[in-house]
Amino acid sequence: MQYLKKEIRENILAAAVEEFKEHGYADASIRNIANNAEISLGNIYRYFTNKEALYFAVINPFLNSIRQAIEEDIVFEGKDMREASEKLVEFLVDHSDEILIIRKGNSVHYEAFVSFIVEAISKKIREMLEKSFPEIDEKIKNPDFYNAVAEGFLTSLFKVLSKDEPLDTQKRNVRELITFFFGHMTDRFYHFEEE
The 10s digit of each residue's pLDDT in 83-133 is 666 777 777 778 878 877 887 776 667 788 788 888 888 887 788 778 777
SS3 content of the chain, % helix, strand, coil (to 5): 80, 0, 20
Q: Are 12 and 91 in the same domain?
A: no
**Per-residue model confidence (pLDDT) at position 121:** 80
Largest CA distance in the chain: 76
Q: Are 37 and 75 in the same domain?
A: no
Q: What is the band of 1 on the pLDDT scale with cuts at 50, 70, 90?
A: very low
Q: Are 38 and 116 in the same domain?
A: no
**Per-residue model confidence (pLDDT) at position 193:** 54
Q: Is 75 left (phi over 0), alpha (psi -120 to 50) or beta?
A: beta
Domain range spanning residue 138? 52-191
Q: Are 32 and 122 in the same domain?
A: no
Q: Are 75 and 41 in the same domain?
A: no
**Per-residue model confidence (pLDDT) at position 128:** 76
Q: Are 39 and 129 in the same domain?
A: no
Q: Are 84 and 121 in the same domain?
A: yes
Amino acid (one-letter) located at 195: E
Q: Which of 45-49, 65-69, 85-89, 95-99 has the highest mean pLDDT?
A: 45-49
Q: Are 34 and 71 in the same domain?
A: no
Q: Are 113 and 160 in the same domain?
A: yes
Q: Are 100 and 187 in the same domain?
A: yes
Per-residue DSSP letter, 171: H
b/e code 52-82 from CB counts within 10 Å (16+ = b): eebbeebbeebbeebeebbeeebebeeeebe
